[in-house]
Amino acid sequence: MIECRLGIPNGSLHDAVSRVLNLKQQDAEYLTDYVKRYKQSHDVLKSHIGTKKLEEFVEHTNEYKN
C-alpha cells in the first residue's frame, strides 16, 4: 500500500476523512450517541493528521488569508 507524506497508508487516511465528512445521525439514534460517534471519528482523524497539519492547511487557504 502506498503511504502519504505523513507516513500513513492513503486508504486509512481517506477512510478517516470520509467517515467524518459523511457522518449523519441515524433514525431513532439519541443525540448523545451521535455526538459520541462523531467525537470518536474526529479523534481517529486527528490521530492520523495531527492538529498542527490541519491548522497549517487552513492558514494557507485564501479564505483564511483574506
In a domain, 2, yes or no: no
Angstrom distance (rounded) from CA 37 to CA 53 = 23
In a domain, 63, yes or no: yes
Q: Tell me what pLDDT residue 1 has.
A: 43
Tens-digit pLDDT profile for residues 6-34? 555 567 777 888 898 899 999 999 999 99
In a domain, 49, yes or no: yes
Q: Which domain holds residue 35?
A: 27-66
In a domain, 54, yes or no: yes
**Long-range CB contacts (within 8 A, 24+) of 8-13:** 8/48, 12/48, 13/48, 13/49
pLDDT at residue 3 greater than cutoff 70: no
* Highest mean pLDDT of the ranges 2-11, 36-45, 52-61: 36-45
C-alpha cell at 48: 492520523
Grid look-up 483564511 returns 64
Question: Which amino acid belongs to residue 16?
Answer: A
In a domain, 50, yes or no: yes
Find out whether 6 and 47 touch, Cβ atoms under 8 Å.
Answer: no
pLDDT at residue 55 greater than cutoff 70: yes
Q: What is the number of domains present in the chain?
A: 1
| pTM for the model | 0.62
